[in-house]
Structure 1
Amino acid sequence: MSTEDLPRCAMQWKRRHADDPDIHIKKIHNMKLRDDDIFLCSFPKSGTHWVWRILDMVVNKSSEYSHRVVDAGFLDQQHVDSMENMASPRVMSTHLPLTALPKQVKARRTKLVHVYRDPKAVTVSLYFQWKTSGKVNDITMEKVVDAFNTEKALLLQRLRRHVVTWYIIRVISMTSSIPRPNVKMGANKNWFHWMDQVAEFERNHPEVPIFHVSYEELKLMADFLEVPLTRRLCQEISEAVSFSRQRQEENKRAGGPATFEKIFYRKGEISDWKNHLTVAQRERLDKAVRDRAHKCPFSAKYVPTSDNDADALNEC
């Protein structure tokens, strides 16, 4: 894809939810919430689709695959008005910085579930998504590693020239100069910025209940959501949302092309990054996380401090 394709990408955005991105952000800010709303917040490629399906089953106390799909409540792309028609309890997902969530989140103390993942796994997952999409011809693992290893998010700068979607340019990278309500510019440029803004939001708004769960330890959400589940139902949900089962179900719903399955449900293995990152790339990512771990408690768990720790992380 080249810069000549930019107008076409802009039209794709408008076909998706018919609003200019900046107008859309303002509508989100003023969105009316319900007492039982739940927001699933994550950096891209951290397990959003998978965790959303788990949440949907937990809050509805059912292991059956419902007609509901994650995109229906995807705050970043859907009409805000269309979400008014969603049945309660609504489980809505977003990759936006937490400061861009509806202002009623703080007043209503809406429950937020923040899912995060090892940055090495996110790096590999992002690489395969962009490569599989076929929309970025010259993508390399090294360029994706650069995006996580620098403050400047070099890959996202390059994506302004080789556009994946208008969505990535205007919303995920958050670099537009047009003011948005309570949204820090640059708050979501890369994995580190995302983690920093989550920690800052929690410090500034202790009244908002946030459940932090890593991709590697997807448990305990039912207790946080105050949804009593029997041991049998827990087992049924566990079996229903196994990665292979969900990949088959969601691909079936997507209407066919295997590309959807490959982009959003590649493997789901915790340490598959070891098969794709060089030792040098892994060390660069570990150093980047280590250098910032003092600022962000969530990132510290992904930094090995010794060879033994490194072996333990590799086995998880």
Structure 2
Amino acid sequence: MENMSALAEKAMASGFNLDLVVHDGLVQAKFMVDKIKRAKTFAIREDDIFLCTYPKSGTHWTWEILNMIVAGKAEYTKHWLNSAYLESRTKEELEKLESPRIIHTHLLPSQMPDAIWTNGCKVIYVHRHPKDCLVSFFSQLSKQIWEDNPLQKTAFSGSWADYLDLFLDGYTLAPCGSYFTYRLQMSTISDTYKGFEVCTVRYEDMKADCAREIKRMAEYLGRPLPEQIYRDISEACSFKNLKNACETMKDQTYHYKWQDGSSGYFRKGECGDWKNFFTVAQSERFDKMYEEKMQSPLL
């Protein structure tokens, strides 16, 4: 705990403009602690569908796809995905959602309600190349200011090198903590929860052939659709089309708004942008830690 407390202090000293505390052995933004505690006791319905992602892994993209699969057509949802954000919405707000609810979360499996696993809810887990996650998260936190931010500062004002150091130390302003901890817990769910079946999807596979991955998710959910619908959903949820829909067509009630000049949630939606940020030495350092933590090379 002392080490984690020191990391919270280091993070604030290195450029995080937030009050940071330690909760459940993880460095957290203070304002998130009560929300994380509340999420653990959330009342589950047997037909709930959970989208689990580490931040910046294609959450908006996949959530919209899942809603279209359930609807059986390529029609955008009324609200932004934050309307169904487990650790952000109140119990009352989530209770109002119609079944089957498609709820997204960045929490660790151990932080989520136990009933998800005992009730056999459907869980889709999307993971992305960790270097791209890191770059995307850094870009968002270091360039954007919430409209109602009393400090009028970005969430992170340190350097790229500072952020990389904190990320490798295990702190990234993600409620689930370390990328490595998250990836390990998600990849061993079937062992931890006695054969629980998760639909695991790679962001890069979605970029390569989205219609194919949409079909795979639909079949996992027991909701197969005509091949043309898969193609229609893929087109509707392309980066350009979904960004436009979210910014110009959707109800903005649950949109966390940034000040003018910020790019919002949708930045590039590309694979491999990490190469524009990492030096060779930084990349090799990251690869080494990944292999140590995950017991396998980063491909």
Give the TM-score of the pair, scaled to structure 1.
Answer: 0.73
Match of 1:48 among 32, 55, 59: 59
Distance 1:22 1:147, change over 3 A: closer
Residue pair 2:49, 2:101 contacting (<8 A) in 1 also: yes
The letter for the 1-side match of 2:194 is: P
Partner of 2:98: 87
Map 1:1-316 onto structure 2 (within 5 A): 21-134=32-145, 135-136=154-155, 138-149=157-168, 152-153=169-170, 156=172, 168=173, 172-173=174-175, 188-218=176-206, 219=213, 220-252=216-248, 253=250, 254=252, 262-294=263-295, 300=297, 302-303=298-299
Residue pair 1:126, 1:144 contacting (<8 A) in 2 also: no
Residues in 2 aligned to 1:129 and 1:22: alpha-carbon distance in whole angstroms = 21
The letter for the 2-side match of 1:98 is: P
Residues in 2 aligned to 1:222 and 1:102: alpha-carbon distance in whole angstroms = 24
Residue pair 1:44, 1:95 contacting (<8 A) in 2 also: yes
Residue pair 2:65, 2:237 contacting (<8 A) in 1 also: yes
Q: After the TM superposition, which of the residue ranges 62-71 and 74-83 deviates more from structure 2?
A: 62-71
Distance 1:261 1:223, change over 3 A: farther
The letter for the 1-side match of 2:236 is: A
More helix by share: 1
Q: Deviations over 1:170-220 (max 9, x none)?
A: xx35xxxxxxxxxxxxxx322111112223443210343211111111312
- CA deviation after TM superposition for structure 1 residue 148, in Å: 3.4
Residues in 2 aligned to 1:206 and 1:60: alpha-carbon distance in whole angstroms = 31
Distance 1:126 1:21, change over 3 A: closer
- CA deviation after TM superposition for structure 1 residue 23, in Å: 4.6
Residue pair 2:258, 2:264 contacting (<8 A) in 1 also: no
Distance 1:137 1:69, change over 3 A: closer
Residue pair 1:251, 1:258 contacting (<8 A) in 2 also: no
Residue pair 2:48, 2:102 contacting (<8 A) in 1 also: yes
- CA deviation after TM superposition for structure 1 residue 140, in Å: 1.8
Question: For this pair of structures, how many residues does the alignment match?
Answer: 257
- CA deviation after TM superposition for structure 1 residue 81, in Å: 1.8
Percent of aligned positions with the same letter in both sequences?
30
Distance 1:286 1:21, change over 3 A: closer
- CA deviation after TM superposition for structure 1 residue 242, in Å: 0.3
Residue pair 1:128, 1:263 contacting (<8 A) in 2 also: no
Distance 1:127 1:29, change over 3 A: closer
Residue pair 2:50, 2:104 contacting (<8 A) in 1 also: yes
Give the gaps of 5 or more residues in structure 1. Answer: 11-19, 157-167, 174-187, 304-316
Give the TM-score of the pair, scaled to structure 2.
Answer: 0.76
Task: Please give the root-mean-square deviation of Cα atoms over the aligned residues, in Å.
Answer: 2.9
Q: Deviations over 1:40-76 (max 9, x none)?
A: 1111111111111111111211101121321111001
Distance 1:210 1:290, change over 3 A: same
- CA deviation after TM superposition for structure 1 residue 283, in Å: 1.6
- CA deviation after TM superposition for structure 1 residue 6, in Å: 5.8
Give the gaps of 5 or more residues in structure 2. Answer: 1-11, 22-30, 146-153, 207-212
Residues in 2 aligned to 1:248 and 1:142: alpha-carbon distance in whole angstroms = 33
The letter for the 2-side match of 1:268 is: G
- CA deviation after TM superposition for structure 1 residue 234, in Å: 0.7
SS in 1 for 2:51: strand
